[in-house]
Amino acid sequence: MDAEPQSTATARLFDAMADDYDVLEPWYEHFYARLHAILAEALAPPADGRHRRALDAGCGSGFQTALLHGLGYESHGVDIAARLLAAGRLRAPAARFARADVMALPYADGAFDAVSCVGSTLSFVERPDAALAEIARVLRPGGLLLLECEHKWSLDLMWAVASSLTGDPLGYEVSPRTLWRALRRPLAAPIGLPYPGYGTLTLFSTRNLIDRLEAAGFTWRRTWGLHAITNLIPSTVLHRPALPRPLAALYRALKALDTRASETPLGRALSNGVVVLSSKT
């Protein structure tokens, strides 16, 4: 029997999450707070009254689509998960949504002034370079792309390694064999690792990600790290409905430090998620 296409499997995965997608665990609460602050700063349009269009590529339930609309864009969202799109239409009724793969966007060349592709969308895509080429195609020259994906050399990877080598007490579900195959690759190369509840994710080094963006016709502008200091606590511990009171107090302190460190070399180097702002050349 032929294997299920990755895009079909991803759509099935996220449609199954639709009922609880907007219930933010402690990990996601900090992630979206930081990500949305970065998006609002990086993609805020000039106050010149010109009509601008923005695309949320891999929009999920419309978090970023609604934020782009609030910034003044005519906002559009695409996703392959039909149930998440239905939630997006409720969250952002003024936006326009389409079910589509980011590797085949249903828009004309140069249709958008800005694109947000976050929520680790690129880490789920079968052909990341094809997705970046499509995003470049629908962006006008000089248009901005805010891209976020899973980062390879993170503190959380170290937790996964430690857990894998000690019988997996932290529940990362990465076997030593899988880990060995991944870590044998060149230092800058992306790797694929499973994560509980999400299947296999592609983790990119920052250097590799910027190289891919440049090959697609983008120029790097800024980089941020998300969940660097906070992953002194393993991510599998933070992916739960609530934290015990002492751990919650520690997490609050770490979130404040993480926010301050997001553009420092340490914050970028150890981050679980890497955010890159670039412009189309």
Question: In whole angstroms, what is the distance from residue 245 CA to residue 210 CA?
Answer: 40
d(CA 1, CA 35): 40
DSSP code of 279?
Answer: E
pLDDT in tens, 114-126: 999 999 999 999 9
53 touches 111 (CB < 8 A) = yes
- Residue 85 makes CB contacts below 8 A (sequence gap 6+) with 59, 77, 79, 97, 99
Residue 93: is its pLDDT beyond 90? yes
- pLDDT over 90 percentage in the chain: 91
**pLDDT at residue 221 is higher than 50:** yes
- Sorted by sequence, the CB contacts under 8 Å of residue 170 that are 6+ apart come out as 159, 160, 162, 163, 234, 236, 237
| Residue pLDDT, tens place only, 199-216 | 999 999 999 999 999 999
Q: Which domains does the chain have, with CATH numbers?
A: 6-153+204-280 (3.40.50.150)
Q: For residue 281, what are its two tokens?
A: 């050349």
